[in-house]
Structure 1
């Protein structure tokens, strides 16, 4: 019996399995929800079994058979990608899909300019960007939702490869009118008694707490948020200070309040920003070319601010 399904349908199956929702999968793939819904229905009809349990309030949950189908679909998509990459390398052509993930804390600072430079130079590439926290990036790499990720060197699994691009030492973020905002540097001991707005993300949050452990002090956390934009606005409105590694180009919070960024003393451990991939994940010509662009555009000597070289 001839099986009739497309790689695109398998891609939709994997996306829904990963996000647990047709609407979320559609958003991340930039397609309409009916397109994904129809593709899933066609696959289930072709295979003669349900891949998902539909729960109106809780989204889509993979059945046991659906989990097996998704695992196999990931392998088929990876094999197809390998074939396409092989052809592109022989042809010397940079084209096809490029799915780039980025850490939530600096996705809005760095990816759009890299994307613009890359897609202008290589218009045959379909570039998609995804934003996750660190654990989400690792999961997305493993299930092939993304090809590579721009992130920090925090809790990197042994089966993945990290290519460093820049060092990012930690700094204090303060409201511009704060008494300490004009200082050339600060210690965590000086900041610890003040109220802190904590960026509470998986893995990244543990890194920030380790800085206070290294300094031998305990922060007085009064507010937690998973959203860096919210943290900046709370700081800008004088609800406390925060600690971060990636500062925006403009010294303002999203609501326009002015911020100050002060380097921290004490030899605190910086993080390295770089490219994360699965073993062999940078083998395609398109991915290699994008990594090369990142290495050229991102300044490896930057200190407190992510900077992208003007010569794009």
Structure 2
């Protein structure tokens, strides 16, 4: 059952472009060459990799989606081997795709990427910001090799390496009646209306925290936007709860917020790096993992 890296490269390009035409344009090769490579893979693996839509391009079959993830990983490792073979064993270069949960991405990643670029100037990081489920989907779909996320709703097939513990904070306006407290309890907070971050997974997670304390919040607003949530809280007597605590206490319209730790003892939540279970990280990914481990260890000191 022989196949070539070129055939896999053509297959990946067609899957990402959604058409043979797009793949040919991306790789600067003829459409018949792309079609022939896909046909040869399908014949050798004994499965259909694409559903052909007349005049509407290609869509992956279930077998095609599984092969796409494995093919991209194999091509990444082949690139590692190529670099070693031409004398670049001590250098690291190329593209690394990293997923990140969108609420804390602006709080964490800019500094990480700035320092990483100094240490590894030839590695280009491509970010894929998304909600929790979207970040995991990019991992399983092969769009990202690593993902910076919380240890929440990971599901099967994901390996998680914790980097740091992240406490839960109450977000309230500076002049809120509870702002004078050093810590606030959820029981005190639910006397006021709540602004709920309504991202997939996040919405149910925050509600489950309140429900676990036998509390029923009054939802005043729901929003998928972190900054809208902060603005709504800053301009009302509402509250919200979040792990992502910004350095600035100002909302985008200039109103001041207060962030207070919760009085309750809740399960610690970890921020860390996720990847597909059983997959061997490329040298670029291993460098990023080691760098992040050192970075967050220094921050904790």
Q: TM over 0.5: same fold? A: yes
Is residue 2:244 matched to residue 1:246? yes
CA distance in structure 2 between the partners assigned to 1:258 and 1:61 by the alignment: 51
Which string of whole-angstrom CA distances, capped at 9 and with x for unpartnered residues, describes residues 248-307 of structure 1?
Answer: 1111222222110011112122311000001244532211111111111124886xxxxx
Decide whether aligned partners of structure 1 residues 268 and 66 sit closer, same or farther in structure 2, where only a CA change above 3 A counts: closer
Counterpart residue number, 1:81: 76
Q: Note if contact 1:44-1:51 (Cα within 8 Å) is conserved in structure 2.
A: no
Q: Secondary structure at the match of 2:156?
A: coil
Q: Note if contact 2:14-2:22 (Cα within 8 Å) is conserved in structure 1.
A: no
Unpaired runs of 5+ residues, structure 1, are 23-33, 303-308
Work out which of the residue numbers 96, 101, 126 in structure 2 matches 1:98.
Answer: 96
Count of aligned pairs between the two proteins: 282
Work out which of the residue numbers 275, 278, 295 in structure 2 matches 1:277.
Answer: 275
Q: Secondary structure at the match of 2:75?
A: helix
Question: What is the correspondence of 1:55-134 to structure 2 with a 5 Å cutoff?
Answer: 62-63=58-59, 71-88=66-83, 91-134=89-132
Is residue 2:35 matched to residue 1:47? yes
Decide whether aligned partners of structure 1 residues 95 and 182 sit closer, same or farther in structure 2, where only a CA change above 3 A counts: same
Q: Superposition RMSD on alpha carbons, in Å?
A: 3.3
Q: Note if contact 2:150-2:272 (Cα within 8 Å) is conserved in structure 1.
A: yes
CA distance in structure 1 between the partners assigned to 2:255 and 2:143 by the alignment: 37
Q: Secondary structure at the match of 1:138?
A: helix
Q: Secondary structure at the match of 2:254?
A: coil
CA distance in structure 1 between the partners assigned to 2:245 and 2:24 by the alignment: 40
CA distance in structure 2 between the partners assigned to 1:231 and 1:9 by the alignment: 44
Which string of whole-angstrom CA distances, capped at 9 and with x for unpartnered residues, describes residues 13-58 of structure 1?
Answer: 44456xxxx9xxxxxxxxxxx9779449978654189967599xxx
Unpaired runs of 5+ residues, structure 2, are 40-49
| 1:193 shift after superposition | 2.0
CA distance in structure 1 between the partners assigned to 2:171 and 2:114 by the alignment: 29
